[in-house]
C-alpha cells in the first residue's frame, strides 16, 4: 500500500502550498527584475543617444523618456535627476564597451592580436557615437561646475579601464607608472583625433599617419608581444 503523505501545515497553510506560492512569487519577482533591467537599459541607451546628438544642454529627461518609450514617472522612479541618469548611462556604456572590446580582440587572427590590433580596435571604439557623448559632456563641463566632477571622474574611469584591459591582454613587467603615462598619452591623442574627425571626417588624410606614430609609441610599452 502506498502511504498517503499529508504535508505539514503552518497556521493552516500547508508547507507544500507555501512552497508553490513562494515559487510563483519568485518567478514573478524574477520577471519584474527583468522588466526593470530592460527599462533601465532603454533609458541608458537613450541617454547616450541624446548626448551624442543633442549635447548636454539639449539632453532632457523628458526627451530621454520619449526616446526610450517609457513614461516620465518610470524614468523618475529609476533615475530622479538628469545628473544621476547621465552618470548611470556613462558607467553602463563603459562596461559594455569594455566587454565588446575584449571580445573583438579575442576574435582577431593570431597575427593581429598585438598592440597594433589593439590600437586599431581602440580607435574604432573612439570613432563610435558614444565617444562624441563623452566629448559633449567635457565641453559642457568646462563652464559648468556641477558637471565638471562627473566629467573628470568618467574620463579617469576610461583611462583606468583601458589600462586594466591592456594589462590583461599584454601582461608585462613594466613599471605601472610608465604604463599609465603611455595609456594617458594614447587616450589624449585619440580624444584629439575623435574631435578632429567629428569636424572634418579626416578630409586631409592625416589620421593614418597619426595612428602609425601612436603604434610606434605604444610599442615602447608593449614590445612585439602577442596578447593572450
Mind listing the pLDDT tens digit for each residue in 151-177? 999 999 999 999 999 888 887 656 677
- Indicate if the alpha-carbon torsion angle 158, 156, 144, 193 is positive or negative: negative
- In the chain the domains, ranked by start, together with CATH numbers, are 14-221 (1.10.357.10)
Q: Write down the pTM of the prediction.
A: 0.76
Mind listing the pLDDT tens digit for each residue in 74-95? 999 999 999 999 999 999 989 9
Task: Output the pLDDT for position 12.
Answer: 43
Query: Burial of 35 by CB count in 10 Å (0-12 exposed, 13-18 middle, 19+ buried)?
Result: exposed
Mind listing the pLDDT tens digit for each residue in 25-72? 544 556 888 889 999 999 999 999 999 899 899 999 999 999 999 999
| 8 A C-beta contact, residue 59 and residue 87 | no
Amino acid at each position: 500500500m502506498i502511504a498517503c503523505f499529508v504535508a505539514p501545515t503552518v497556521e493552516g497553510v500547508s508547507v507544500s502550498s507555501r512552497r508553490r506560492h513562494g515559487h510563483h512569487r519568485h518567478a514573478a519577482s524574477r520577471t519584474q527584475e527583468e522588466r526593470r533591467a530592460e527599462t533601465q537599459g532603454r533609458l541608458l541607451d537613450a541617454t547616450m543617444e541624446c548626448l551624442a546628438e543633442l549635447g548636454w544642454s539639449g539632453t532632457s529627461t523628458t526627451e530621454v523618456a520619449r526616446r526610450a518609450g517609457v513614461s516620465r514617472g518610470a524614468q523618475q522612479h529609476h533615475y530622479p535627476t538628469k545628473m544621476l541618469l547621465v552618470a548611470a548611462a556613462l558607467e553602463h556604456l563603459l562596461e559594455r564597451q569594455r566587454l565588446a572590446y575584449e571580445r573583438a580582440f579575442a576574435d582577431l587572427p593570431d597575427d593581429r592580436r598585438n598592440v597594433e590590433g589593439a590600437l586599431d580596435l581602440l580607435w574604432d571604439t573612439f570613432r563610435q557615437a558614444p565617444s562624441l557623448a563623452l566629448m559633449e559632456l567635457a565641453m559642457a563641463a568646462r563652464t559648468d561646475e556641477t558637471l565638471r566632477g562627473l566629467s573628470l571622474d568618467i574620463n579617469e574611469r576610461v583611462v583606468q579601464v583601458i589600462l586594466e584591459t591592456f594589462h590583461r591582454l599584454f601582461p608585462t613587467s613594466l613599471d605601472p607608472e610608465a604604463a599609465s603615462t603611455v595609456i594617458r598619452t594614447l587616450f589624449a591623442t585619440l580624444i584629439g583625433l575623435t574631435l578632429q574627425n567629428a569636424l572634418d571626417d579626416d578630409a586631409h588624410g592625416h589620421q593614418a599617419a597619426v595612428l602609425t606614430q601612436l603604434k610606434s609609441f605604444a610599442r615602447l610599452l608593449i614590445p612585439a608581444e602577442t596578447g593572450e
